[in-house]
Amino acid sequence: MVGGTGFYIRGVVDGIPTGSIPQDKKLRKFLESKEIVQLFEILKIFDPGKAYSLKISDRKDPRRLIRAIEVAKWKLKNRGKKLEGRKMKNEDLLFMGLIAQKKFFDKRIN
């Protein structure tokens, strides 16, 4: 893999724990008819901490809200179950990085 954000790299290396939570098709179908405000209110009921920790952009994204509700509902049903991502073996990894000043990147982008 070349490039990627820290979240993306962690997801590949450590796995994303909530990725193992299956989709709830019935719940999704029900939620897809709801407005953004309604989805956020539903998330607040299931997991207020998660609702208020979301970035503003995520609060406006129906797909992210629906997935957050889906995960919160699963966690309530499966209390005590530990979620773990699928981790890669350290011997399979080689991290390399490049460092440059911001001016260099700005020039390359523009």
State how far the Cα of 23 lies from the Cα of 91, in Å rounded to an integer: 32
- Say what the pTM is: 0.65
CA 85 to chain centre: 12
State how far the Cα of 42 lies from the Cα of 52, in Å rounded to an integer: 12
What are the backbone angles phi and psi of residue 84, rounded to the nearest 5°? -135, 140
Question: How far, CA to CA in Å, does 64 sit from each of 1, 37, 48, 100?
Answer: 25, 13, 15, 34
Per-residue pLDDT of 7-33, as tens digits, reads 777 777 766 667 778 889 999 999 999
Higher-pLDDT residue of 19 and 46 is: 46
